[in-house]
A and B are shown apart, each in its own frame.
Chain A
Amino acid sequence: MGSMRMNQAIATALAEEMRENSSVIVMGEDVADAGGPFKTSEGLLKEFGPKRVRDTPISEMGFTGAAVGAAALGLRPVVEIMFVEFLGVALDAVVTEAAKFRYLSQGQVSCPMVVRASIGSGLGFGCQHSQTLENWVAATPGLKVACPSDPQSAYGLLKAAIRDPDPVIFLEPRALYASRGEVVTGPDGLLELGRARIAREGTKATVVTLGRTTSLTRAAAQQANLDIEIIDLLSLVPWDVKTVCASVKRTGRLVVIEEAPHSGGWGSEIISTITAQAFASLDAAPFRITAPDVPVPYQRDLEALYLPSESEIVRQLESYLVTGVVPQPWWTQEGIAR
């Protein structure tokens, strides 16, 4: 146990898994010599050498595709996609190759690979370097999708992802790389893919969060003293239906908070599933607090508004807890957009 930043927790998990299993390799742009653009692979080159820690050419399609072939033939590659947007040029390898290899070989071939990518807004990088894009991959059977929310979950989930026999997309909220937290290492720090955790206990509503929205919602609850149960989803595919459902049966209400644009978000999937399974327990309509349907704006104040802010979360939850009526998002309330 010790205090670390999230990027250190990631580097620690990588190093431990590489020590544990010689078939684990790491590749990506500037991951070796430079220790990673976000310092998530610091020290790996020195300990494991250039055969297992590889700086790649700038060719996401090439090295992500290579990871598929390498995984099929016995390695456990961990690929770093610097910004999740760059997955766009490598999507075939992930969605149409890795996700299909087990199926199209009827179990002869598996692809135990991890694609790590940094995600999210908040650092002023503009709309081509600030998206979360989890919805791109979450609807592909054959892929698993995980998203940590702090150093501990980054450590524990990444280890689980590397050990998993299937391809895992591992989305790391970029704004959290520098955040510090206590990390329990070793077997006690390991997490299970597909298992959510209760980040705060409460009785009046179940609030499902993922990645960056977990700490924002926790801060909102603390600040306004909201009696809510926060469920940090951690895995999007598969997601922990049981834990969410059990919580909703206790609280009678469900809210999902997402960093991505409103339309087509995974929160709708959660609400639809839980509504079908626990309709009788609900005493108010479930709803989502999301970003608006816009590209991430650059200007500091606008960018802060984009991601559901702490004050926006407080405003919507307070009103919902009191009235049971679904609140309007700020952009509707202010008459800017529907």
Chain B
Amino acid sequence: MSQMTMTPVQRRDVLRDDPLAQYSRMLEIRHFEELVNELFAQGEIHGTTHLCLGQEALAVGIAAELPTDHAVAATYRGHGVALALGMTPQVVLAEIMGRSAGCVGGVGGSMHLCDMSVGLLPTSAIIGAGIPIAAGAALAYQTLEEQSVAVAIFGDGAANIGAFHEGLNLAAVWKLPVVFVIDNNVYGEYSRIDRTTPFEDLHLRSASYGIPGVTVDGMDSDLVQDTMRVALERARNGQGPTLIEAKTYRFAGHSRADTAPYRPEGELEQWKKRDPLLVTKQRLLKKGAASEDQLDQLEATIKEELESVLDEVRSLPSPNPAAMFDHIYAEQVSV
């Protein structure tokens, strides 16, 4: 059965112990992002978008280890996280394309995805906002004595904003069941990390809060999953938060129009040797989980499926004007 026809929860469950399913999801994210990039370039979608090309393994590694009743606070660079957590390419693309069938009815757009059936809180376009929010979700779990753990995923740039400090401090002092994941993709907008941050190993920041800080190769979904497992275990045992720093790299520019002229020569090429799709593919081949032909076939199928998702979404209606008045308050208030 194609992952694209499964429900979000099924899409999540299928990742858990299935390396091929994980690879397949990474391919889906990769080609989804490339498709979105094209649609923006052609002017078919308006606004802006933040792609996660090169960061697929981090999203899938986290999702593979995380049950669906664990809340995730993620960011505007969220297509990959949303797809990894289980949301379908249909509802994500429909949201990005402003269709009423989008995950939030087309009023959100590329930066604002949400599906609580797989734990994804509304993604925020404000740097660092999700960090205290995840701590708060964990506070709810702790107070209501639920077994879930909250996760915040945010960028290296977010490690410099006040919310990072306040969120981690609060979570540490209250021993909240939360995992903080820094997606250290080396850049915050157009600035390389060495121009904004006194050191690049951001897991060291954990020392300020007396919590464990670990670093993981974010290009390898297996390693990410292993690291998540340990952090989740700790949180479940009442030992509090963990700071995980995943070393990744942003293959695309920051947002739609950015061609990233500021990269040092050769840096991108160097990182592309560690392309998460390559890393996973080589492992699958080595283990004999599939043949090269089979993997190529899988990729071709996913590309085809995404093309038909696009056709389908193109035919969907836009929201009507009344939609912008919905869901502001529990009951519509006439102010």
Contacts and interface: CB of A to CB of B under 8 A. Distances in A.
Classify chain A's interface size: 35 or more
Contacts, number: 163
A111 to B, nearest CB: 10
Contacts of A92: 126, 129, 163
Please report whether the interface of chain A is mostly helix, strand, loop or mixed according to DSSP.
mixed
B122 interface: yes
Interface in B119-160: 121-122, 124, 126, 129, 131-144, 150
B335 A238 contact: yes
Contacts of B166: 57, 59, 61-63, 65
A73 interface: yes
Give the interface centre of A56, A72, A107, A144 by most chain B CB atoms within 10 Å.
A72
Main secondary structure of the interface of B (DSSP, over half): mixed
A97 B108 CA distance: 13
Given A92-B129, A108-B115, A238 B135 contact: no
Interface string A9-42: 0000000000000010100000000000000000
Interface in A69-83: 69-75, 77
B170 A23 contact: no
A62 B108 contact: no
Contacts of B121: 69, 72, 101, 105, 109
Given A57-B170, A109-B122, A194-B333, A68 B162 contact: no
A184 B121 CA distance: 40
Contact of B133 (A23, A97, A103, A106): A97
Contacts of A51: 142-143
Contact of A109 (B116, B138, B326): B116
A100 interface: yes
A273 to B, nearest CB: 9
A102 interface: yes
Interface of B: 71, 73, 103-105, 107-108, 112, 114-116, 121-122, 124, 126, 129, 131-144, 150, 162-163, 165-167, 169-170, 173-174, 326-330, 333-335
Interface of A: 23, 25, 51-52, 54, 56-57, 59, 61-75, 77, 89, 92-93, 96-97, 100-110, 141-142, 144, 164-166, 194, 237-239, 241
